Copies of this chain bind each other. A is one copy, B any other.
Amino acid sequence: MTFPNQPSFKTLQDLSKNPIDLTKEENFTDSRIEKMQLKACGFTLLYGSERVTEEVLTSLYSLAEESNALEKMKQMQEGKVINKIEGYPSEKRSVLHTAMRDFFKEQHEEEAAKEAREFAYKEVEKLKAFLEKIGDQYTDIVQIGIGGSDLGPRAIYFALEAFNTSGRNAHFVSNVDPDDATCVLNKLDLKKTLFVIVSKSGTTLETLTNESFVRDYLEKKGLNPLDHILSVTGKSSPMDDPSKYKASFYMRDYVGGRYSVTSMVGCVALGFCIGMKHLLSFLEGASIMDKHALNAPLKENMPLLSALLGIWNRNFLNLPTTAIIPYSQALHRFTAHLQQCDMESNGKQINKKGEFVDHETGPIIWGEPGTNGQHSFYQLIHQGTTTVPMEFMGFKESQYKNDLVVKDSTSQEKLLANLFAQSIALATGQKSDNPNKTFLGNRPNRVLIAKTLDPKTMGAILSYYENKVAFQGFIWDINSFDQEGVQLGKVLANKIIDLFIEKRTQKKAEPFHLATSYLKALEEL
């Protein structure tokens, strides 16, 4: 049964013609806010400021039930082959990023999931031994990867920088732009620097190029690359080579790039910086939320509820984007990670039977931290002509516990006051005789709060979002785990690279007439 043919789809469409008006005092009340809360794993999700009623929620839960969302979550975590399109050539793989952290309670014992967990745990032990062996030889680590090998690790590194072992820092080079590597390398003491080159296939163009860059730099400084360069790659890939790398850590093809933070892709640099104790705590947090997504019943399942609210906003209120706004500067790159995780997973045009869908799939995800965003794009959020659903995050306590009372309140209190003020202002709006001071309100939003952003909490937030994205894909019945949409650009880029080479080396390239006109414009600058 396709998504728009589910019985509750029609009900929800009818309900969406007249969504609850949150600007009316009798609708948006204290008792609503207190009732519309879900608590799990140390978090509270406040969703009274979404435009849903009990009736809407009931139908949304039916939607989840009709699409077997919870059963599909089970299949995923057990290692069934769910990354595929029926009837067409496609990837045919398990999706087992949850196994990368299944080291704690209630471990999966199904064969595929167990095998993946054991494989992953061996790598964690290898990492522990490696970090012990190198001792204090190195102070800095540079992660060289792109996409999932960059965004997730970078986001989590900054989120947990407060937990760094003193004197240790990570840096990131991702872009094939030569200025990226130059700018980062210029600032480092290379003698004390490790590099982690990350590519599952061992063939990613940007990453291999940047690796050559680094090798060249090290050699020019009289250093031996073999003392400085690690790889994270598939076993037996061209990058699994002890003659070129000081150590290699492995990943498998059942972990997609955008879901790979908790594999060695993220763990090597993170473990180097925050140490094994904090790293394991991060993995445990993710695992706890995975088990919650797996076992919590329909109405108590936090990632599922978030997925359903997102579907209400996307498919029934017809809102094309979602802003994810952490009120925490440490999470300043987390939305960029979720942008990949969500948009690459659910920005799809066909369902799992290979049929073009006739409904919207994944929204555009964007955002910057609050309060910064308030001083930037919130003008449009409050008074623009396109409504943007907001997903807020906040923490009761700061990370460094280094705060100051200014004008009778702490910074953390000011931060939280702003978060809650926005949630209320967006919902209620404000009436005024001056049209420019009128706020129409009814801007849907929800607020996820937790005690503090420590490694365990960060792991759980990561898993909360990964599983939210998975649930949405399950309900839309699309394949959230391939990325065919990135291929065409790669193919054409390689043809244009050949044109550049032809110009410099006379090595004959295949003609590509459209590209020639672009290159001519470049030439004429």
Instruction: Report yes or no: B424 in contact with A382, Cβ–Cβ below 8 A.
Output: no
- Chain B residues whose C-beta falls within 8 Å of the C-beta of A439 in the assembled complex: 485, 488
Q: A336-B368, A417-B493 are in contact. Are A383 and B349 (CB under 8 A)?
A: yes
With an 8 A cutoff between CB atoms, is A430 at the interface? yes
Q: Which of A348, A409, A417, A447 has the most CB of B within 10 A?
A: A417
- Known contacts being A381-B347, A518-B46, is A451 close to B372, with CB within 8 Å? no
Q: Which of B347, B366, B415 contacts A364 (CB 8 A)?
A: B366
Q: CA separation between A320 and B410, bound complex, in Å?
A: 39
Cβ–Cβ < 8 Å partners of A517 in chain B: 30, 33-34, 48
Residues from 451 to 486 in A contacting B, C-beta threshold 8 Å = 451, 482-486
* Contact assessment for B436 and A88 in the assembled complex, using a CB-CB cutoff below 8 Å: yes
Binds B, one of A63-71, A209-217, A237-245: A209-217
Does residue A287 face the partner (Cβ distance < 8 Å to B)?
Answer: no
Q: Does A95 contact B (CB under 8 A)?
A: no
By secondary structure, the A interface counts as: helix
Does A507 belong to the interface (CB within 8 Å)? yes
Q: Is the CB of B380 within 8 A of A347?
A: yes
Contact partner of A209 (CB less than 8 A), chosen from B34, B406, B429, is B406
State the CA gap A330–B495 with chains docked (Å): 26
Question: What is the distance, in angstroms, from A448's C-beta to the closest C-beta of chain B?
Answer: 11
- Chain B CB within 8 A of A134 CB: no
Asked if B183 and A375 make an inter-chain contact with CB atoms under 8 angstroms apart, the answer reads: no
CA distance A382 to B92 in the complex (A): 22
Determine, out of A72-80, A114-122, A143-151, A304-312, the stretch whose residues face the partner at the interface: A143-151
A170 to chain B minimum Cβ distance, whole angstroms, is 13
- The answer to whether A363 has its CB under 8 Å from any CB of chain B is yes
Interface contact B37-A349, CB-CB below 8 Å: no
> Which B-chain residue is minimally distant from A493 (CB atoms)?
B421
> Which residues of chain A (310-367) have a CB below 8 Å from chain B?
320-321, 327-330, 336, 339-340, 343-344, 346-350, 354-357, 359-366
* CB contact list, A373-394 vs B, under 8 A: 374-386, 388
A21 within 8 A of B: no
With A415-B176, A416-B522 known as contacts, the answer to whether A516 contacts B484 (CB < 8 A) is no
Q: A497 within 8 Å of B by Cβ?
A: yes
How far does the alpha carbon of A350 sit from the alpha carbon of B370 in the complex, in Å?
26
CB distance from A122 to the nearest CB of B (A): 28
Q: Is A227 an interface residue (CB 8 A)?
A: no
Neighbouring B residues of A347 by C-beta, 8 Å: 377, 379-381, 383-385
Interface residues on A, range: 35 or more
A388 to chain B, nearest CB (A): 7
- Give bound CA distance, A310 to B327, whole Å: 31
Q: A88-B436, A178-B398, A435-B355 are in contact. Are A33 and B514 (CB under 8 A)?
A: yes
On whether the beta carbons of B486 and A378 are closer than 8 Å, the reply is yes
Contact of A400 among B182, B375, B483, B494 (CB under 8 A): B182
Contact flags A255-293 to B (C-beta < 8 A → 1, else 0): 001100000000000000000000000000000000000
- The answer to whether B327 and A177 touch across the interface, beta carbons within 8 angstroms, is yes
Query: In the complex, what residues of B have CB within 8 A of residue A374's CB?
Result: 147, 486, 489
Whether A518 contacts B482 in the complex (CB less than 8 A), given A343-B377, A347-B379, comes out as no
The 5 closest A-B pairs by CB, nearest first: A347-B380, A147-B375, A347-B384, A421-B492, A417-B496
A339 to B347, CA, bound (A): 22
CB under 8 Å from chain B, chain A span 493-525: 493-497, 499-501, 504-505, 507, 513-522, 524-525
Query: Is A434's CB within 8 Å of the partner chain B?
Result: yes
> Which of A85, A208, A515: most chain B Cβ within 10 A?
A515
Contacting pair A384 B372 (CB below 8 A): no
For window 405-431 of A, CB contacts with B under 8 Å fall at: 406, 408-418, 420-425, 428-430
